[in-house]
Amino acid sequence: MDLIRKANDLGFIAVGFSRPGRPSFFDHLRVWISEGKHAGMAWIERHLNLRENPAMLLEGCRTVITLAYPYSSCKPYTPEGLCAARYSEPQKQDYHHRLRKRTKILAKALQEHFPGTRSRICVDSAPIMERSLAWQSGIGFIGKNTQLIIPGHGSYVFLAEILTTAVIHFPEPRPMENRCGSCTRCLDACPTGAIEGPFQLNAGKCLSYRTIEQKEAVDRKTGKKMGDCFFGCDVCQEVCPFNQKHETGEIILPSANDILNMDEKSFRETYGKSAFARAGLAKIQSNIQAMDNERQV
């Protein structure tokens, strides 16, 4: 079976293979957690033993397949110019569902090709160090902004994994050396100083965390640093020379005022299955309120 071709036909732009050993960046993760840089994301602390040994996620696991799926480089805008991070693609179903469907098709084909084998799909659904495994598989390098960068495409990608008991033979993967060189654009451009040094992200300062994951409302001081973006943040990816493709934004969101006046029922009907649902209406409204944006009516 030509797994890579099948994956490409399903829209995946990169496929990598690795064995389920201790992820290369596991120690880095442990230090990061011990320094409290994961902020309120306590779930990252849990199941560290599984993160250390992905083979524990599937008994008899012999191969890890990493898949990268692109998201649009076009930002969704409100008519007055507020926007959301690109990955949110709010007009579509949450990427977890979309990616899972495609990954399942591939896993099924794999099982048909290797009868008697088992597999497990991970789309942010299991404690697995996906960027580390992606890097080990050789499909990209980790930039100073801590994103996985796939040369020729950039970092606007979602990752998914298939763990399988099938022993897939593949050439020894060659993890890619970092290609940032002397560039420091992401560090310089980050509005909150969340990239405290190369490869050093402090999630507690990061707008992606603060506008989506953090339970408490964003304070106005931080709101001033959000620019036009009320959901997530793309700055450290926008400035990256490896992301050369920036399509013009599209006005597909309601006005800020309409969002502020939206009720739960309409939010659920319109965005209940999209990535916006993760933050929820109240969080999105409080983000907009914190922005102090003159375009806000």
Active-site residue list: 124
What's 237's DSSP letter?
H
100/144 with CB nearer ligand SF4: 144
Among the candidate windows 41-49, 90-98, 189-197, 279-287, which touches ligand SF4 by CB under 6 A? 189-197
Q: For the chain, percent helix, then strand, then coil, each to nearest 5? A: 40, 15, 45
**Cβ neighbours of residue 281 under 8 Å, at least 6 residues apart?**
262, 264, 267, 271
Selected binder of ligand SF4 within 76, 143, 175, 223 (CB under 6 A): 143
Tokens for 69? 């799926």
Selected binder of ligand SF4 within 15, 61, 133, 207 (CB under 6 A): 207
Selected binder of ligand SF4 within 233, 279, 290, 291 (CB under 6 A): 233
Interaction residues for ligand SF4, span 240-259 (CB under 6 A): 240-242
Among the candidate windows 67-75, 119-127, 167-175, 177-185, which touches ligand SF4 by CB under 6 A? 177-185
**200 touches ligand SF4 (CB under 6 A):** no
Q: Cα angle at 172 between 167 and 176, to 5 degrees?
A: 130
Selected binder of ligand SF4 within 144, 211, 283, 284 (CB under 6 A): 144
Spatial separation of the C-alpha atoms in residues 64 and 175, rounded to whole Å: 15
**131 touches ligand SF4 (CB under 6 A):** no
**192 touches ligand SF4 (CB under 6 A):** yes
What's 154's DSSP letter?
B
| Closest of 205, 232, 206, 246 to residue 287, by C-alpha | 232
**82 touches ligand SF4 (CB under 6 A):** no
Residue 241 vs residues 131, 141, 151, 274: alpha-carbon distances, Å? 20, 14, 10, 29
Letter for the amino acid at 220? R
Among the candidate windows 29-37, 107-115, 178-186, 265-273, which touches ligand SF4 by CB under 6 A? 178-186
Selected binder of ligand SF4 within 4, 56, 239, 260 (CB under 6 A): 239
The footprint of ligand SF4 on this chain (CB under 6 A) covers a number of residues equal to 24
| Closest of 162, 178, 169, 140 to residue 13, by C-alpha | 140
Q: Which residue is nearest to ligand SF4 (CB)?
A: 143
Asked if 10 and 105 touch (Cβ cutoff 8 Å), the reply is: yes
Letter for the amino acid at 72? S
Selected binder of ligand SF4 within 68, 163, 176, 236 (CB under 6 A): 236
Among the candidate windows 2-10, 44-52, 69-77, 202-210, which touches ligand SF4 by CB under 6 A? 202-210
**206 touches ligand SF4 (CB under 6 A):** yes
**291 touches ligand SF4 (CB under 6 A):** no
Selected binder of ligand SF4 within 185, 213, 260, 280 (CB under 6 A): 185
112: left (phi over 0), alpha (psi -120 to 50) or beta: alpha
| Closest of 287, 223, 221, 278 to residue 259, by C-alpha | 287
10/183 with CB nearer ligand SF4: 183
Asked if 68 and 159 touch (Cβ cutoff 8 Å), the reply is: yes
**150 touches ligand SF4 (CB under 6 A):** no
Spatial separation of the C-alpha atoms in residues 148 and 98, rounded to whole Å: 20
List residues binding ligand SF4 (CB under 6 A).
143-145, 180, 183-186, 190-192, 194-195, 201, 206-208, 233, 235-236, 239-242
